[in-house]
A and B are shown apart, each in its own frame.
Chain A
């Protein structure tokens, strides 16, 4: 399971970073979303990976750490709302600047 989680994290983060470095706002937003998914998964796995153990102390012998689950819930809510905000902002910028380039203008536009 560790390997699977590690590979998933790596794929999410690397695609996220790659997309974030693109020049169009849509891919940047997608990249941010993937990166935050990767980060949330990472945060979640920091309570160590176990299966079939509840996050309640006292019920069973083996329990899992409940705190990362609480942390990741907060992080998900925040990253979700931030993504919603950045989508609206990107739309607003695209309409106002008449370009979906992150700088508001395509530096190579004249050459094409």
Chain B
């Protein structure tokens, strides 16, 4: 058993706990501890990606209890790539926050570490109840992070966010209760085995449980009727927190992939899954359309970015609901791109807001902007990337999605929704950019030049954003190895029997010995 595997959960837990106890440390030490822990997580995630590339499934038995009795952590390519994405994203968030946003309230770094622990745990666990526990860990950390800094807008958005997620947790427990009552286990592999062999009479209850789970993950992922908390919450949160939250909707998506395609998908034909995927398809398309309209109607860059998150969720879930191996690989590539770029825009909104005289990131306010050229160019490049124009990773991912979906029935709906929402994003971003940066000379008068002299551009913050955009570019440059990796990852997801055999291997053979 390789103890490195549990480290992505243990390191942030210990760091967070230590920071909480040592709250009297000066902020510099807190920052270096937090950055150090996140750097370690990046290294670990790289190890995880390499390890998963060699062995399909790496298992870790907690307390050395064999599955299905103990909790097991499972590392495969999908979870490895999600770990790496989380680690990189959180590193940039910590670096950005260390320039001052973490002083708006207390315990920022401790909370962030707990949040990372929850996210990493959710990606690694092979047990549904454990998934619930990690969801709660990441949620309670996110409640506090959302409120970090205080203020009326945050209290209001936070209340909605907390209440809807508490209701979601209750539904999650109900679904777990039904599944346990039917199968007598909550280990994902064992559950998949039981569901595949479930008698016909259990099917209605299984469907009920899977639909409940869809609602729960839909709340996390912001699927159509459950998304109205998102724009307000994400635009109220402070910039690094909002950027970190870009991964949170993807946790919901990941859980859907794991549970619906693997746990419910072992059976030939997977009858319990059909209902969920049939519901997912139209709702995801409408989510996508609504996101597009929201992007166009947003009044500030942060709200606009929040709606871009919704657009990305719509695309991801719509492709997931088609239940196709190649399309899922394409949408995983899009997940990497969209998480990175929406995070960039949350940070960029904050960065630009700081150098505007008035109005922060609102579009309605016309106000002089210092460092117009630098900020304008970065905004342009970031917009080209998120609008999925070449030469950035968004273009590769969307082209792949379109290509992969063209073999499927009803693909025109998906094409129309993806292309129109892309067009709306381009329109909204070019309107925002031209309003802010393309003002005639009257706004860059002597006054802004005077401001520029006193108000230096924050190079560290700027560099963070630029490196993130560069990663998006690098993702396009080195698309082939990433695509191969994701292809291999989805191949594993569509062979759940391999997962079940690896996790339950000894147990099943032992059981046979006993019956003999």
Contact = CB atoms under 8 A, between A and B. Distances in A.
B366 interface: no
B133 A74 contact: yes
Interface stretch (B29-37, B154-162, B267-275, B448-456): B154-162
Given A42-B174, A96-B152, A79 B147 contact: no
Given A81-B140, A92-B155, A75 B173 contact: yes
A38 B180 CA distance: 17
B138 to A, nearest CB: 12
Interface in A55-106: 65, 67-68, 71, 74-75, 78-79, 81-83, 85-86, 89-90, 92-93, 96-97, 102-104
Contacts of A86: 162-163, 166
B129 interface: yes
Contacts of B170: 32, 35-36, 39, 79
A93 to B, nearest CB: 4
B331 interface: no
B505 interface: no
Interface in B179-213: 180-181, 184, 186
Contacts of A97: 152, 155-156
A40 B156 CA distance: 29
B501 interface: no
A85 B174 contact: no
B498 interface: no
A67 B186 CA distance: 10
Interface centre among B129, B159, B167 (most CB of A within 10 A): B159
Nearest to A46: B181
Contacts of A35: 167, 170
Contact of A82 (B140, B151, B184): B140
A42 B212 CA distance: 15
A58 to B, nearest CB: 15
Q: List 10 tightest A-B contacts by C-beta distance, closest first.
A: A46-B181, A104-B156, A93-B155, A43-B177, A46-B177, A39-B173, A39-B170, A93-B159, A96-B155, A35-B170
Interface of B: 129, 133, 136, 140, 143, 147, 151-152, 155-156, 158-160, 162-163, 166-167, 169-170, 173-174, 176-178, 180-181, 184, 186
Given A102-B163, A104-B156, 18 more contacts: A20-B163, A32-B166, A42-B173, A42-B174, A46-B178, A65-B184, A68-B177, A71-B186, A79-B170, A82-B162, A86-B166, A89-B158, A89-B159, A89-B162, A90-B159, A93-B159, A96-B152, A104-B159
